[in-house]
Amino acid sequence: MNYLITIVGPTAIGKTALSIKLAQHFNAEIISCDSRQFFKEMTIGTAVPEPEELAAAPHHFIQNKSIQEEYSVGHFEREALEKLHDLFTKHNIVIMVGGSGLYVDAVINGLDHFPTIDPSVREQLNKRLASEGLESLQKQLKELDPETYHEIAIENPHRIIRALEVCIGSGQTYSSFKNKPKTPRNFTPIKVGLKAEREIIYDRINRRVDIMLQKGLLKEVESLYSQKHLNALQTVGYREIFQYLDGTIDFDFAISEIKKNSRRFAKRQLTWFKKDENTLWFDYLEDVKNIIDSINKVTLNRL
């Protein structure tokens, strides 16, 4: 039997460190499903694992794409399943790690299928984004589909526009197309979640942002300024500094916004991941031996 052990939890909680320990213990390879770490131009602001971490266990889907490429969750689902097929010929356990809930679900459960929408709907929404700002689109999504509003990353304009175009173009909520029967997988998923008190999570996020700045986040974002319109760069840590470089906000406020938006993102991550009642939750300081014991019990019970 093949097992996909997936490590989930809020940003900055320690998922990377745990994934490496589990990969070493189970002689497994790691698939990253962090949708921001796919892009080779984005290193500091996405907290890509350090070189020594990448060398500690085989990793896949880390900085393997360019921000110039159109890369969606659908592309990732197909490529990840192909990689899993190969890996399961060598190992019966693979580790998957990342905080992108939609990408986790795509691999484990399969994607939902949405209707084809007239491209003019997206064009109009993009025009509104430029003229009215993101808040206007967020408000409309909350009115049309409150369930989706409370689930997706509402600071991500690409996600907001995608949900709105389905609502407007189909006359039905985006959420109504979700959770339909999917194609069965040839592996058994085991989800391991890391948690901590909110104050601890927020403190870890704030410290991570400070470390990013020390490593040269400003310089990294400056180097990408000419490409700031690309979807991959419409994300926390880049968007705020682009605003600073545009002269619309000052630097200190940009940093405070990065921290605030990262905390909001972490809250939404937890909301998403806690929907799965089968997740094995552990404190972020839990001894890895106890986590391994719990995983072994689950696999034995399923034999």
Residues making up the annotated binding site are 9-16
The annotation places the binding site for substrate at 11-16
User: In sequence order, what are the residues at sequence separation of 6 or more whose Cβ sits closer than 8 angstroms to the Cβ of residue 76?
Assistant: 33, 35, 38, 61, 103, 106, 107
Contact predicate 230/39, CB 8 Å = no
> Phi, psi at residue 2, to the nearest 5°?
-100, 140
Contact predicate 260/140, CB 8 Å = no
Burial class of residue 121 in the structure, from the number of CB atoms within 10 Å of its CB (0-12 exposed, 13-18 middle, 19+ buried): middle
CA distances from 55 to 23, 24, 45, 268 (A): 12, 11, 20, 31
Q: How much is the CA Rg of the chain, to the nearest whole Å?
A: 19
Strands 280-283 and 30-32: unpaired
Burial class of residue 167 in the structure, from the number of CB atoms within 10 Å of its CB (0-12 exposed, 13-18 middle, 19+ buried): buried
Burial class of residue 176 in the structure, from the number of CB atoms within 10 Å of its CB (0-12 exposed, 13-18 middle, 19+ buried): middle
- Which among 268, 191, 207 has a CA at the least distance from the CA of 10? 268
